[in-house]
Structure 1
């Protein structure tokens, strides 16, 4: 049975062609009906004119009949006979047209009455004995003729009015149907063409801001579906490239941090080396308590070195995006520890993040956000002293956590504020920046269903405001420090 099914899925071009063809056929059908009604009105109007002439002829016949009955003038009788002949000729003239009209069944009766009246009028001068009877019959026949002629005219005029009313109703109905059809056509065009294009346009803007959520694919089996599928493939490829860019930027950041981290590792290693030398030199006569103290110091320095390496590995490792309830303070502190070696003397980093603020975040990616913003803040303070402040608070009304990172650096020119999140845009000197840092930051915040804005005054500093979703149920119990 399925082998006989007809595939009715049309592409947009075919749908438009079918719609326009249906519209043209509907207009042609309506035009044909209207033309037919107008032809009927024309025919009936012509018939009414002849019927009016016939009615006037009958009135003239009656006038000369009355004159003859009153005065007995042969001239009146002759005029009466002439008008009777004219009336009969008119009846013969309209006979072919009458047979197509609804009045056709009454037409033979009309003609018989006319002929009977003619015979009575011809008999009138010859019947002196029965004149009064003939006159009475003549008046009755004449009255019937007048009534029939008036009825004929009235009937056809009524038919013209009916056709006009039918035509008006048809035109009104056609207009409503046409408007309904056009509304349906506009709806189809809007739903199948305009709305998908608008969604694609909005998605393009969203992708430019770092949000790579694909479009839902509807089973329309037309160009729209193919465009959306191709668009989603492009989005997937862009997201893949974006992830590669993020990782490349992360490696670039690691390169910047390497020298400082090497210095951080050098301190615990020196302490370990010094402790080991003391133990080796005094091993034979070393006091047990001193030995224990030295080994404890070695252990602490090993843990310190481990934490430095662990933080570096955590930052460099590539992972899938995953949201987990994590204390924000931990992420901020790890970021500060990683960047601390890059902070020149005279620049203070102030941390004011509540210890119990827990957010559902991807810790690794949010750490990258803080590292990028902190590194930018450090580089913005050209000459110490300066201060970088990172703070957070809960906006319970909007169910958001508001995180601010501000510095006392050189600021950003007003004309460049709107472009700071654009890929490859940088205010730094050539070779000093890739222009990807803030673009990646924007994309990561978007992935967290949050927002980031920037406020800056040239010469006074810059302030970044991050808003992330907050749910008190994500809060984890932590002992107060």
Structure 2
């Protein structure tokens, strides 16, 4: 049965590797032992060759000086060679026939040397010496052949051992390890890659459960743990969302109550005055009180309308919009509110497009442009710039974010479109700057609802973008919007 655990598969391969290693080691050791024997034999054959050389040397000395010591040494060396041939086993070896030939030639040589001593003074001694020399040459030639042959045998054996050792290592070691490595990599990396892709889909909100095709216990256990963690996270997330909803609802209701309290108080006060002054003949004063009631009622209606619009936010309908067209169409809505002496300039990068919900982005731009108009004098200046992201812009964003002047997050490794709305008004004081995106915060007293910038930053968040504010006292304010290109 095929194991269903990565650890078991590795253990089986490890045990198989041990058996293969032991088998190869035994084969190599046996070959080394055979080579050792051959090397020892070659050493003995080298000694044999040297002994035969000594036989020839003593032979030559005896013929020259007729010294009996040389003669006896010659016979002693002959005996040594004979004992070597007798004691060594050459059966089945390639040099067996050469050794037999050497043995026969040595016997002839010995017989001639014994005959020489008996006929040392006879006239035939010259012929006998010539025969001995010829036999000696044959001995030397055979010994050289034996030595050369044995050396070649050892060399060939070593080459053969090296060759088939390499083949065995490749077949039983390298190839299995490569195949196992590739198989293990595919076995592990495949499910892990699939798991990574599923986690990305979970992060994108496309799936809520992980299922990976794998039979390995470790992978299945990992997937099961992930799914368990995901379920726990989902439960915690639901609790957090519920708590956040309740908290947001409380904040919203508190803000609405606070914002509605002022106009209602003014209406109530005006009504009381009217009731008290009902019999008074001052019509103009009564008219002013009624106008105040109408103004405060309109303000209350605007607050309610803004809250309702925000609560009914629809799903974004993103499309690719030419930046030039977007800015041009937006300015048309605001043109009637621009003072005659106010200068509005637009600078848009050529062929630049924005991928966004046109209506929502126009709402963002209208909020920012209206704020800029209200911040400037009648002869103020407003600049709108639209351009592709640059390193300088990203560095500035990081700086403002570090100072807490940005809301929203930028996705990593994405290109961005930057929209700047700049005015030359009085700027925003540091103590107010940190609160401008909070709901119901306003510095316009009765003119604003305090929801404009809050809704603006929410819409930018919906577009996966970021909005920053850079303001310097007496030099103006710049709102910087960064939206993903795609």
TM-score, scaled to structure 2: 0.53
Pairs within 5 Å for 1:12-27: 12-27=6-21
RMSD: 6.1
Aligned counterpart in structure 2 of residue 395 of structure 1, from 388, 401, 408: 388
| Separation (CA, whole Å) in 1 of partners of 2:469 and 2:47 | 94
- Does 2:483 align with 1:467? yes
User: 1:86/1:199 Cα in 2 relative to 1: closer, same or farther (>3 Å)?
Assistant: same
| Separation (CA, whole Å) in 2 of partners of 1:304 and 1:469 | 34
Note the alpha carbon deviations across 1:293-331, whole angstroms, 9 max, x for none. Answer: xxxxxxx99x9899667535525x9xxx886549999xx
| Separation (CA, whole Å) in 2 of partners of 1:326 and 1:309 | 29
- Does 2:88 align with 1:94? yes
Q: Which residue of 1 aligns with 2:295?
A: none
- Does 2:71 align with 1:77? yes
Tell me the SS of whatever aligns to 2:138.
Answer: helix
| Separation (CA, whole Å) in 2 of partners of 1:207 and 1:411 | 42
Note the alpha carbon deviations across 1:431-468, whole angstroms, 9 max, x for none. Answer: xxxxxx9xx989976xx7x5658788999999885432
Note the alpha carbon deviations across 1:92-128, whole angstroms, 9 max, x for none. Answer: 1222xx3364333433222222223223333444565
Q: Which residue of 2 aligns with 1:115?
A: 107
Q: Which residue of 1 aligns with 2:152?
A: 158
Shift of 1:49: 2.0
- Does 2:60 align with 1:62? no
| Separation (CA, whole Å) in 2 of partners of 1:29 and 1:44 | 23
Aligned residues of 1:411 and 1:456 also touching (Cα < 8 A): no
Tell me the SS of whatever aligns to 2:483.
Answer: strand
Tell me the SS of whatever aligns to 2:82.
Answer: helix
- Does 2:40 align with 1:46? yes
TM-score, scaled to structure 1: 0.53
Shift of 1:46: 1.6
User: 1:82/1:136 Cα in 2 relative to 1: closer, same or farther (>3 Å)?
Assistant: same
Between 1 and 2, higher relative CO (CA 8 Å, sep ≥ 6) is seen in 1
| Separation (CA, whole Å) in 1 of partners of 2:23 and 2:36 | 20
Shift of 1:161: 3.4
Tell me the SS of whatever aligns to 1:99.
Answer: coil
User: 1:37/1:93 Cα in 2 relative to 1: closer, same or farther (>3 Å)?
Assistant: same
User: 1:135/1:108 Cα in 2 relative to 1: closer, same or farther (>3 Å)?
Assistant: same
| Separation (CA, whole Å) in 1 of partners of 2:92 and 2:27 | 18
Aligned residues of 1:394 and 1:401 also touching (Cα < 8 A): yes
Aligned counterpart in structure 1 of residue 249 of structure 2, from 247, 250, 254: 254
Aligned residues of 1:68 and 1:74 also touching (Cα < 8 A): yes
Residue segments in structure 1 that go unaligned for 5+ positions in a row: 1-5, 275-299, 334-351, 375-384, 413-436, 471-481
